[in-house]
Structure 1
Amino acid sequence: MFDKLEDIVLRLEEVLNQLSEPDVASDAERFRKLMKEQSDLTPIVEAYKEYKQNKQNIEESLAMLEEENDEEMRELAKEELNESKQKVEELEKTLKILLLPKDPNDDKNVIVEIRAGAGGDEAALFAAEIYRMYVHYAEGRHWKVEMMECEEIGIGGMKSVTFMITGQGAYSVMKYESGVHRVQRVPETESGGRIHTSTISVAVMPEVDDDIDIKIEDKDIRIDVMRASGNGGQCVNTTDSAVRLTHYPTGIVVYSQTEKSQLQNKAKAFALLKAKLYDIEQQQRHDAEAEMRRSQIGTGDRSEKIRTYNFPQGRVTDHRINLTLYKLDKIMNGDIQEIIDACIAADQAAKLAKMNEN
């Protein structure tokens, strides 16, 4: 581990030297890559420097305890020794986490697709509420949310909704939302007051940018242009600008109608199709690496039931990490950071345990 850390220190020096070259800004792609590498390496180097400083403090405190006779000075040395030892332990854990292999998609924007499952209109109403939950969460982080496609029902629900979240590291946190979300409550449409269970599925896909090669052949695609349809509201406009793409090899159909311009809807539809094709590729890779998927916290299996929202009891339970919180109202308003942080911590712990086995 320490050889690797020394190499990282040297690499950061190289990157900083290259960034100080006068002509570096003229090559935008090279400049972007160097800035990204600097941003990735700096936290590791800073933690390592702090680790080495505390190791040095331990040596100095031990030397003082050997040489010093004054009781007050010895107490100070003991105090410093204990503090530095504790800090070294904490920093060792931090450095191990920082050195874990990064998901190459973590820094990407995300495309989120929510679909109503079992439960009819109630599932569609819950899908709309989960969509609003994510919008509030994204706004709280100053991320941009852009709708790509949606299918509404007349009573304020959504059979399906797809949207993009643009923000630094969006995939690194939103990926933990993939899976089946279950709601338990008395539906507004239920006259008998019985509690129903409904489900929705959430798929979180990284945006496919230029560094990912997803080829779509012209012969494999059909493009249809039509007038937007639906119940009105935020998803629909009234010109012949809606675009539907059919991808023959996979049978995937995507539909975009949220923009006024046909060109913009076409661009959105292709972005969504690319994300779905890349997602299929990722799922196949996950299935092939079954061991890796088992070590992850719920980021591999779309059919996995990950969370229950129980309205009568005001609780939300994440089944992957056995976390139950009694603040359903706040969570439905976008306060999901505590759940995401717990998922990240559990994921890191599982990966560290696997690394220690090897």
Structure 2
Amino acid sequence: MESKFDFSDNPQDAPKKQGLKFNLSYLLKLFDISKDTDYAATLEAVRQDIPFRGATAWVLICSIFIACIGLNTDSTAVVIGAMLIAPLMGPVLGTGVGLAINDLDMIKSATQNFIVMVLLSALTATVFFLFFPLQQESSELLARTRPDIRDVFIAFFGGAALAIARTKKGTIVSVIFGVAIATALIPPLCTIGYGIAVGNIGYTFGAIYLFFINATFIAFASFVVVKLLRFPMIHYADSKRRRFVVRVVSFFAVLVMIPAGITFIYALGENKFRKQANTYLDTHVSTLPYGDYLVSSATIQYNRKSESQLLINPLGLVQIDSTTMRVMEQELSAYDKLKDTKLIIFSKD
């Protein structure tokens, strides 16, 4: 007798299930970073990279001089060459790893050497720009006076690449040097020296802040990688010392991440503002006569604390009447980030 119900698996579904399992297994292997992790060798290599003396100091001085020359001549290639040889990664990585494994001695050593490197770099750059002042501020220099959302992502993913490469058996030198390029720690240090040399406090503190953000997110990325790979924690026999170390490490981690987190939020807000401003220009300004020129020459001025501005200068090519101006101002309210933005259109006069 033939049954109306068939609870057996459909033979046609078997290949699909096998294919799904294969794809899942392949993806897990593809993104698995735990394979070939050398815990002992990694920690030893990180500790050896932290000390800053002798040849390392001179290599840093040379890289700073090269970067300053690149900034002086507005040459991106020369700046990249300086970042290739800059030995700043050791203390930054050491800070992140030390925080991850609860190693107070490593944190102290990394912090001390990091401060020495920053001071030496800033001093070298200051001396260079005192003897070879810029004739005109270059785009490479101005790009290192304030962070934006791209700096945060470049620093984080560059730090992650560095940490992953460092934990593998056999150092992936090209990746580590690529991180030095991506995170751009050297150019902000040169800008700090330039700001000191010319007495521009705004440039100095802006570059310090950018450098701090880059270094923080590199350390944070290495912290995350080490935690994901489950490196063994440092345990102290003395319970009081253990609690003290945990508190110090936790306090240091929070202290470092608070300004970095605030910067990320501010940079994200500015990024949204600029994105909506560009959308507004492409949608409403490009339709005007000589619209392409008006869009390309428009200036977007973001100000978090006061009124932001959108500047459009026709330069006499087209006369924008008062009715069109009012319509353009009303269209700003359609964008939540542009509601309080002041639209300034320069007249022909």
Q: Which has the larger radius of gyration?
A: 2
TM-score, normalised by the number of residues in structure 2:
0.23
Higher helix share: 2
TM-score, structure 1 normalization: 0.23
